[in-house]
Homo-oligomer: A and B are copies of this chain.
Amino acid sequence: MSFPERLARDAALVAARLEAELAPRAEQPVIHAMRYALRGGKGLRGFLVLESARLHNVAPERALAAAASVEALHAYSLVHDDLPAMDDDDLRRGQPTVHVKWDEATAILAGDALQTLAFELLTDPALGPAEVRIALVARLAKASGAEGMVLGQALDIAAESAGRALTLDEITALQAGKTGALIRYAAEAGAVLAGADPAPLGEYARALGLAFQIHDDLLDVEGDPDATGKRTGKDAGRGKATFVSLLGLDGARARAQALIREAEAALAPWGERALPLIEAARFTITRQA
């Protein structure tokens, strides 16, 4: 199975699990907005959960609620990041953002409810013993809260309002929180489900997460809005320091490639069983969207 086929298959499993949560709920705009926000993503974080689980001999059915959980958490972060008071984006995954399609109140509530749903999914008994489930709750909270994603977003806003460009170290720290922490959580989840050491997957995901963000910065400069499904040229327009503005196009590409080699090295102990995860790493720096 090719990597795109594998990614699509895993994304379909996760989408079905999420729909099973939403289907019985009240017919309210906030539920429709949650479903809309969950649609159209690549599903990379859910894929990382399912594939790191498979690597540790945990069946996808057992890991599915955790994969759905991380996609719900990611969707919440996008809905809130897109709000006018935050990044003020009107386009996401080629479609109007939630506050454009509905309104700001619905977007705030849908994001709030998606975060709640992410934690609720981690209580699914299919995930295994209560010890495993509560460990996932603790890890997801660390990755997403004021020590992880929210901290990264807050540093990003502080940098913009401070009116000075960040250094390479500062951008690396910011991204480790803003996008890196959740990617790392997702990759480590399979090891946690198996009761195994999550360190190798953590090292893989640290490198992958940073490469992912460098490639995002490259797409913002070189990408085609029709392919990315969002506005490009935003960072330069805002005079924002990025990996590209600091390293140059060639330097940023070289750095991303070096990181992918680091990600591959972290998975060497698994040999070719790790191929789906290695292909995912290579994909992050070749994707057009």
Contact = CB atoms under 8 A, between A and B. Distances in A.
A150 B22 CA distance: 14
A106 B158 CA distance: 10
A7 interface: no
Interface residues of A, number: 50
Q: Which of A31, A133, A154 neighbours the largest number of chain B CB atoms within 10 Å of its CB?
A: A154
A80 interface: yes
Contact of A28 (B26, B28, B106, B158): B158
- State the oligomeric state as a number of copies: 2
A41 interface: no
Interface string A89-116: 0000000000000011110110111011
B119 A137 contact: yes
Interface stretch (A138-146, A195-203, A270-278): A138-146
By secondary structure, the A interface counts as helix
A137 B123 contact: yes
12 contacts: A28-B154, A29-B154, A76-B112, A106-B157, A108-B108, A112-B150, A116-B145, A117-B146, A119-B137, A119-B140, A119-B141, A130-B130
Given A113-B150, A123-B135, 8 more contacts: A28-B158, A30-B150, A30-B151, A34-B146, A106-B154, A120-B141, A120-B142, A129-B130
Interface of A: 25-26, 28-31, 34, 76, 80, 83, 85-86, 103-106, 108-109, 111-113, 115-117, 119-120, 122-123, 129-131, 133-135, 137-138, 140-142, 144-147, 150-151, 153-155, 157-158
